[in-house]
Chain A
């Protein structure tokens, strides 16, 4: 089971491995296939009967129910690709609502050389540092083809893109989204309400809210630059962002186990529960086949039931050793026939001590795992880790 963490909880080695794996995929051409598939999905209209054939109304991966499952499968394919070049790497998520609470979200550690590079600078707003700064983006022509951009570099304009919006979604907006009582509803597009999917994607807003993108859409427009077009996977933050979107969907699923994915049938092509989704690497994947992310092979560090269960099992194993040790030192308990009472009691004391040590170590390691952070100063300008 792959364990997806908050990017700020990665160890130095984990972060370094992730950055290296992403760069390896870019170098061998695999990364760009994810840009192409996302772009093609964006261009492919999925009209219902009577609707215009227009990808802005709904397409293979957006503005419809398949938004969440399509991206879940895309992320898993990306994660497996990362593991093909760097075994053990898992996809981290960027909890943007956490950064939204900062006085200045653009100063968050994510936007530093230590993580994924900073805000764009200079006349072209190119990312000046970090592990991906020299990447060549692929952009669309008016004929629909993708070509390399003539100027190397990733464009970012955090909270200041003239085509974007200046704030990130906050924790209250995430909570509001999680309160939606159905996954989606007809007409299965940007006007669907009630709809968890539509609120998560960012088209649905409260009557008093301004006509601006929210949630998922808002984050794309806040990062700005290369995150604005349909070729948004050009910026690797795309995957960190969508990993967080997927985590929120997993939270909603866990909180609403009785609420199914809809539509089961009768909806737009490619969006029904058993329709094959288009433009993914693996053919034939349906929304239904993505509903159990544990079955897909990963989990999030914010899933308390399973994490708790694992920790309880570990604690139980250490406790068992303590109990056995206790029986060995107890008169009338366990006594080795060949070793005799004295040796058994010594072994019992050692066993109990080991058990207590294990239990304490496990508890401390568990706490460290959810609080571990490091600062940009721990990593030099080339992205190499300081010991």
Chain B
């Protein structure tokens, strides 16, 4: 049950050469940029997590720690889809402490 079937068609090698990017999903501005220690993900400008791309080629977030995502876009979309239900975007804070 993968909700992002397009993920299977993604070219991982090409993606690995893209250290940063952005997309709009459900009117939310998502950006990601590779920094020391991993890839930092921001939603509407608020840093929410440091993503790790592990050796299996998948992207991992501590928000959903029991699986990986084939693309960072799929991971970001999963976070947007679950915001308010399983986690809350705290707009009062500009920086995530972790």
Contacts and interface: CB of A to CB of B under 8 A. Distances in A.
Of A56, A57, A190, A217, chain B has the most CB atoms within 10 Å of the CB of: A56
Interface in B50-98: 50-52, 54-58, 60-68, 70, 78, 81-82, 85-90, 93, 96-98
A141 B65 contact: no
Interface residues of B, number: 40
Contacts of A141: 87-90
B3 A144 contact: no
Interface residues of A, number: 46
A202 interface: yes
B55 A142 contact: no
Contacts of B38: 52, 54, 56
A42 interface: yes
Of B64, B70, B85, B90, chain A has the most CB atoms within 10 Å of the CB of: B85
A324 B64 CA distance: 65
Interface stretch (A97-105, A155-163, A379-387): A155-163
Contact of B90 (A143, A159, A166, A202): A143
A142 B50 contact: no
A161 B66 CA distance: 13
B86 A57 contact: no
A142 B87 contact: yes
A229 B64 contact: yes
Nearest to A165: B1
A319 interface: no
A165 B38 CA distance: 26
Given A53-B37, A54-B50, A211 B70 contact: yes
A220 B52 contact: no
B65 A162 contact: no
A334 interface: no
Contacts of B93: 142-143
Given A57-B54, A191-B55, A211-B56, A155 B67 contact: no
A211 B68 contact: yes
B3 to A, nearest CB: 4
11 contacts: A43-B98, A56-B62, A57-B52, A139-B85, A142-B87, A142-B93, A142-B96, A155-B85, A159-B1, A164-B1, A228-B86
Interface of B: 1, 3, 36-38, 46-52, 54-58, 60-68, 70, 78, 81-82, 85-90, 93, 96-98
Interface of A: 42-43, 52-57, 59, 62, 124, 139-145, 147, 149, 155, 159-166, 190-191, 202-203, 211-213, 216-217, 220-221, 226, 228-232
